Amino acid sequence: MSYLRHRVLALETPILLSLILLLVTFVAPSAGLSIENRAIVMLINVALVVGLYSFAGLSGVLTFGHMSFMGIGAYAGALVTIPVVAKGSLLPDLPGFLANAEVSLPIAILIGGGLAALFAAIISLPIARLPGLALSLAMFAVLIICYQVEANWDSLTRGRQALLGVPTNTTIWVALATAIGAMFVVFAYQQSRFGLRLRAAREDEYSAAATGVNIVRERRISLVISGALIGVVGVVYAQYLGVFTPNDFYLDLTFMTIAMLVIGGTRSLTGAVIGPMLVAVLTYTLQQGETVTGPGLQQVGLAIVMVLVLVFRPSGLTNGKELKLSTVVTRFRQGRADRNGRSSETDKAMTAVE
């Protein structure tokens, strides 16, 4: 019994966050189709930002290029799911094995995620060796390279023209499953020895290296994991849109996801989940104002909020803390703030109280 309780408590944060997302999934469709679509996009964003967090948050190096994995996943997933007949007229110059491929969504997810992970593994060879700031900028160069390739490889991607005819398999439940799956994978990674080593290097590069952490190796692992996750989200997102262009995985999305992560807080999984939810509400509000100002207000407002967060609360709204019922309970029982965020410590405190 206590063993089971311990296991559940260890997974408390992702379970609580999943319950919140589940609630959204239950409630949103009853508020009409437009709200349901917003909820789907929000759930996809949660999965996306959680994927971004698995590198940017855990390593402490914000990257400007992770959306390249999303583009790779989206195009790979779309090319193997568009019906063979449609492909014949859309993309007549497609190589044979792609022209005749038509697989289900789960297989497409495996292919898209796998390809993005492979790409991440290849680029990690030079990228993971770079010092922090140069790494951010080099990833930006990777994003531009991917965009250029997608926008010009006409026979494979239709270039700047929209790729259409992608089956729209992504329901709100698929989006929910993606978000929850991403959260559990990243939480497991975060608590594993790999995640711990990466986080140690984030806190203090020199001390971590001195205790035997191979930072380059840990960053490489993290790049591949985040690449795979974001690739999967790319597949799912493409199957939601049905029609997309290379621009959908470029600068606007890069900015939006970074804003979500920064506003939520780069240093906890909870931040990566809360951020997209807050931004969804914020952009919805700002969009109502755009009828007056014309397009752009949404982005301006979001940028201002982001600068304010960076100035007044640089670690984001969650400030590096995870959502935990046990913390709340202990805090309540002890009648004072428990500043300790480590789950094992809190567990001990719980037992001691009992």
Partner 1 sequence: MTDVIQAVVDALSLASLYALLALPVALIYGIMGLINFAQGELTMIAAYGLFLFAAVTLPLAVFMALVLVVVAALAMERVAFRPVRNSSEETLLVTSFAVSFLLQNLALIIFGSRPKSISTPSSLSQSFDVGGIFIDAVAILTVVLAVVCIGGLVLFMNRSRFGISMRAAAEDFTMARLVGIRANAVISATFAIAGALAGVAAFVLVVQSGSAFATMGLTPVIIAFVATMMGGLGSLRGALLGAAILGVITVGFDQILSEELRPARDAFVYGAVLLVLLVRPSGLIPSNRERV
Name the residues that contact partner 1, by CB under 8 A: 60-62, 64, 123, 125-127, 129-134, 136-138, 140-142, 144-145, 148-149, 151-153, 251, 255, 258-259, 262, 293-297, 299-300, 302-304, 306-307, 310-311, 314
Nearer to partner 1, 8 or 137 (CB): 137
Token pair in block for residue 140: 């930006």
Nearer to partner 1, 164 or 306 (CB): 306
| Shortest CB 156 distance to partner 1, Å | 12
| Shortest CB 69 distance to partner 1, Å | 16
Nearer to partner 1, 95 or 126 (CB): 126
Nearer to partner 1, 64 or 189 (CB): 64
Nearer to partner 1, 232 or 261 (CB): 261
| Shortest CB 146 distance to partner 1, Å | 8
| Shortest CB 56 distance to partner 1, Å | 9
Nearer to partner 1, 199 or 324 (CB): 199
| Shortest CB 74 distance to partner 1, Å | 18
| Shortest CB 114 distance to partner 1, Å | 22
